[in-house]
Amino acid sequence: MKINLQADPGTPVKLSKYLQGQFSEHLGRGIYGGLWVGKDSDIPNVNGLRSDVIDALKRLHVPVLRWPGGCFADEYHWRDGIGDPAKRRKIVNNNWGGTTEDNSFGTHEFFELCRQLGTEAYINCNVGSGTVQEMADWVEYMTASGESTMAELRAQNGHPEPWAVKFLGIGNETWGGGGNMRPEYYADVYRQFQTFVRQYGQHPIYKIACGPNIDDFNWTNVLMANAGPYMDGLSLHHYALTDLWEHKGDAIDFTDDEWRSLLNSAKKMDYLIHEHSVRMNRYDPEHRVDLIVDEWGSWFKEQAGTNPAFLYQQNTLRDAMVAATTLNIFNKHAERVHMANIAQMVNVLQSMVLTDDDKMLLTPTYFVFLMYRFHQGAQRLAAYNSQGSDVSYTISEKDGEDILSFCNTSLTANDSVEINFPADLGDVTYAQILHEEQANAHNTFEDPDRVQLKSFDQVQVQGRTVYCQLPNMSVVTVKIQKK
């Protein structure tokens, strides 16, 4: 593969850091046991948040975190999660296994999590079973200062200063479990709810409307036509599957055909973004409204012996391929896609981290995000994905360095890449690879270090040209100084 940046520099676009956002829902062990262990736990923690997980996630420079759902958001009533934890209302989590939710992790705990991670908040509010007043009160509780009933209540609960809410989602999957609404009806509901998202702080809250179910292009048309002027972003959900929704494959035990099937499903993201962008362009040619892919990732059958509703699955080299390919797709469409949130951060679906009591491991997907963090806020030089190619890539520049990330999803074939830059380059300052000989290589609690980043020595710089040899089933990131 030859890439000539001098002849075809591409459209200069800044890659939003929010493209590498995360998602954490009250689902299985995503919150409880994964992030939150409580202040009295024997597991080392700071204010109830387990230190090993926080320290690992901080290395990813997590830009934004979506909470409390997901499906859970449309049954979440925020007042249940404030005040004395011992007196908080216990509820049944009907979406995820009928388990008891004690609400010990609520608004204050979430913003403490954001503080420790150094990340921004994406709050998904309850439209399905909530009210406009409930949402308006929550916004006031979180962001108002001065003399206000909600601000005073927040202070009584231990936090006098307001928090910053960067993003606010109004409903989740309202076409399905979030209300089974028609797009015409939800457009009106959205217009009503967003009216009462009042601005209390210095910066306005970025409002996100619930977007289509995968390829429901009519939903996008109707929402943009009827509510486009009232939104900042429109969401999109798409999960990579090996087969039909009701026949999801195994996370570890898979065939070569299932490898290819999953990657083809992941690459469908390119098509979906393009087609929904075409519809958005009809009503918003200036690209004022962003596309927000706030749920994406691999979805398999739950791990044997675990609660089926907890969506706990292992994470192999194949998932790393999905992650890198998808991040390259987001970078390719950075003119329209402003934020994305992989599902989910810990112990649920395609996670960064898995835990078992006091043990913790990092997944192959974690290492992809670790390499790709260099692209956050960088200037895109080129980004490529094609359904017919095994290689996708992102090339960007930031802080006097060129950043090259490649993903080769072929099971058997190595590939060579030649990149011609407009000017001579300097020294290689970073070169790492994620690669294993076995397609289902993964880390376990018995062997947590099997899959790790390794030094990459198959890169050469000659003047303004870079040569890379990409092994099969590999993700590579290289940083090179500009002269």
The confidence score (pLDDT) of residue 7 equals: 58
The confidence score (pLDDT) of residue 122 equals: 98
91: β partners = 101
The confidence score (pLDDT) of residue 97 equals: 86
Tell me how long the chain is: 483
In Å, how far are 123, 140, 148, 200, 331 from 145, measured between CA atoms?
A: 19, 9, 7, 7, 37
Catalytic annotation, residues: 173, 295
Instruction: Count other C-beta atoms under 10 Å from residue 14's C-beta.
Output: 12
The confidence score (pLDDT) of residue 243 equals: 83
The confidence score (pLDDT) of residue 95 equals: 85
Please tell me whether the overall predicted TM-score, pTM, comes out greater than 0.85 for this model.
yes
Question: Contact at 8 Å (CB) between 81 and 130?
Answer: no
In the chain, list all ranges with CATH 3.20.20.80: 14-378
In the chain, list all ranges with CATH 2.60.40.1180: 391-482
Amino acid identity of residue 53, one-letter, is: V
In whole angstroms, what is the distance from residue 362 CA to residue 354 CA?
7
In Å, how far are 186, 190, 206, 219, 281 from 225, measured between CA atoms?
A: 12, 13, 19, 10, 11
In our burial notation (b when 16+ CB lie closer than 10 A, e otherwise), range 222-261 reads bbbebbbebbbbbbbbbbbbbeeeeebbbbbebeeebbeb
The confidence score (pLDDT) of residue 244 equals: 78
The confidence score (pLDDT) of residue 338 equals: 98
| Residue in the structure block whose two tokens are 């927040």 | 154
The confidence score (pLDDT) of residue 4 equals: 86
The confidence score (pLDDT) of residue 3 equals: 87
The confidence score (pLDDT) of residue 10 equals: 58
The confidence score (pLDDT) of residue 16 equals: 98
Fold of 14-378: TIM Barrel (3.20.20)
Instruction: Count other C-beta atoms under 10 Å from residue 100's C-beta.
Output: 9
Instruction: Name the residue among 138, 160, 110, 475 with its Cα closest to residue 322.
Output: 475
The confidence score (pLDDT) of residue 158 equals: 96
pLDDT tens digit at each of 483 positions of the chain: 888 887 555 567 999 999 999 999 999 999 999 999 999 999 999 999 999 999 999 999 999 999 999 999 999 999 999 999 999 999 999 889 889 999 999 999 999 999 999 999 999 999 999 999 999 999 999 999 988 999 999 999 999 999 999 999 999 999 999 999 999 999 999 999 999 999 998 889 999 999 999 999 999 999 999 999 999 999 999 999 998 777 899 999 999 999 999 999 999 999 999 999 999 999 999 999 999 999 999 999 999 999 999 999 999 999 999 999 999 999 999 999 999 999 999 999 999 999 999 999 999 999 999 999 999 999 999 999 998 899 999 999 999 999 999 999 999 999 999 999 999 999 999 999 999 999 999 999 999 999 999 999 999 999 999 999 999 999 999 999 998
Instruction: Name the residue among 17, 6, 125 with its Cα closest to residue 72.
Output: 125
Q: In CATH, which superfamily holds the domain spanning 391-482?
A: Golgi alpha-mannosidase II (2.60.40.1180)
In our burial notation (b when 16+ CB lie closer than 10 A, e otherwise), range 331-354 reads bbbbebbbbbbbbbbbbbbbbbbb
